[in-house]
């Protein structure tokens, strides 16, 4: 097993570049930080390119690493450099980006979350994780939405990318296809025709669009929806965080709660 102690090592430089979208697209891989995520990737039979861990973590987890995956022992300093944080968990994996293509015209069932220009990585990761918890089939990230495989999004997803479809696509194309195939599509824009989410019953197949933190979803998408929903607020707050609002809407539409 190769030991790597310097941040100037070429492998370390390549791993650090995975923090950027350009680096991920060039290498067609992304980084997992922490044994929980690595374990989920093993269970999902993801394609591994490398396992990197401090001596302490390597001793504990090396027996569980899939056979044939290159393993590298790294220093604490290198671990911090790769993670971009001061307190990394000390074990990482480099795995392939998903290669799936998904034609929305073939979607006739399931519950789908569509994210319109949601920019905060924590919100995007939390929404994907919540969609997973609510039993959704997939999440579609529209143009302008944070990259699903950026480090902050990956940490917030907590492995949910292995449990449901996480795709990028043109939301107009997706909405048109879902409607054509008989699915209701709900928006989250507050307008004069919007209705309380409590008026909509739970259902097994639909699309739900959530919009940008500051401007909401686009008017073009809102005009295509079956209904635009709002959450009645009981206190004096002007609005809800999009991830909180999304959680309420997802669980209500999926479970009636």
* CATH label of the domain that carries residue 25: 3.30.1330.30
| 124 and 229 within one domain | yes
| 173 and 248 within one domain | yes
Give the residue with greater pLDDT, 193 vs 28. Answer: 28
pLDDT bin (cut points 50, 70, 90) of residue 30 is very high
Q: Which helix (H) or strand (E) holds 48?
A: strand 48-53
CATH assignment of the domain containing 213: 3.40.1280.10
- Rounded Cα distance, 172 and 175, in Å: 5
| 146 and 81 within one domain | no
Query: First-to-last CA distance in the chain?
Result: 51
| 154 and 222 within one domain | yes
Q: Which helix (H) or strand (E) holds 176?
A: helix 171-180
pLDDT of residue 244: 96
- Rounded Cα distance, 185 and 172, in Å: 11
| 160 and 219 within one domain | yes
247 pLDDT higher than 80: yes
| 151 and 228 within one domain | yes
| 140 and 92 within one domain | no
Boundary (domain end) residue, out of 96, 127, 153: 96
Q: What mean pLDDT comes out for the span 116-134? A: 97
pLDDT of residue 99: 85
Place of tokens 């997973």: 132
Place of tokens 């990197």: 52
pLDDT of residue 85: 85
| 241 and 116 within one domain | yes
| 156 and 36 within one domain | no
Q: What mean pLDDT comes out for the span 107-116? A: 96
pLDDT bin (cut points 50, 70, 90) of residue 216 is confident
190 pLDDT higher than 90: no
DSSP string, 119-132: --HHHHHHHHHHHH
Q: Report pLDDT digits (tens) over 34-78.
A: 999 999 999 999 999 999 999 999 999 999 999 999 999 999 999
Q: What is the chain's alpha carbon radius of gyration, rounded to the nearest angstrom?
A: 20
Residue range(s) defining the domain that contains residue 159: 104-255
| 212 and 126 within one domain | yes
257 pLDDT higher than 60: no
The domain tally of the chain equals: 2
pLDDT bin (cut points 50, 70, 90) of residue 1 is confident
Boundary (domain end) residue, out of 72, 96, 120: 96
| 125 and 89 within one domain | no
DSSP string, 210-252: EEBTTTBS-HHHHTTSSEEEE----SS-S---HHHHHHHHHHH
Q: Look up the pTM and report it.
A: 0.94
pLDDT of residue 120: 96
| 80 and 14 within one domain | yes
pLDDT of residue 174: 97
CB 69 within 8 A of CB 48: yes
Boundary (domain end) residue, out of 50, 76, 96: 96
């Amino acid at each position: 097993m190769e030991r790597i102690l310097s941040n100037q090592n070429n492998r370390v430089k390549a791993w650090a570049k995975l923090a950027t979208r350009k680096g991920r697209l060039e290498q067609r891989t992304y980084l997992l930080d922490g044994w929980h995520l690595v374990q989920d990737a093993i269970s999902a039979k993801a394609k591994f390119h490398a396992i990197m861990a401090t001596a302490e973590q390597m001793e504990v987890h090396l027996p569980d690493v899939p056979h044939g995956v290159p393993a590298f022992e790294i220093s604490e300093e290198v671990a911090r450099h790769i993670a971009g944080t001061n307190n990394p968990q000390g074990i990482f994996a480099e795995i392939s980006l998903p290669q799936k293509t998904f034609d929305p015209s073939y979607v006739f069932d399931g519950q789908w979350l569509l994210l319109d220009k949601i920019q905060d990585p924590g919100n995007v990761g939390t929404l994907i994780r919540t969609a997973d918890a609510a039993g959704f089939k997939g999440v579609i990230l529209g143009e302008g939405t944070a990259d699903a495989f950026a480090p902050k999004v990956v940490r917030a997803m907590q492995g949910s990318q292995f449990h449901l479809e996480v795709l990028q696509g043109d939301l107009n194309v997706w909405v048109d296809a879902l409607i054509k195939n008989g699915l209701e599509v709900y928006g989250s824009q507050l307008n004069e025709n919007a209705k309380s989410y409590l008026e909509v019953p739970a259902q097994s197949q639909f699309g739900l669009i959530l919009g940008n933190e500051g401007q909401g979803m686009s008017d073009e998408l809102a005009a295509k929806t079956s209904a635009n929903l709002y959450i009645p607020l009981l206190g004096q707050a002007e609005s809800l965080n999009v991830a909180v609002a999304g959680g309420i809407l997802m669980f209500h539409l999926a479970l009636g709660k």
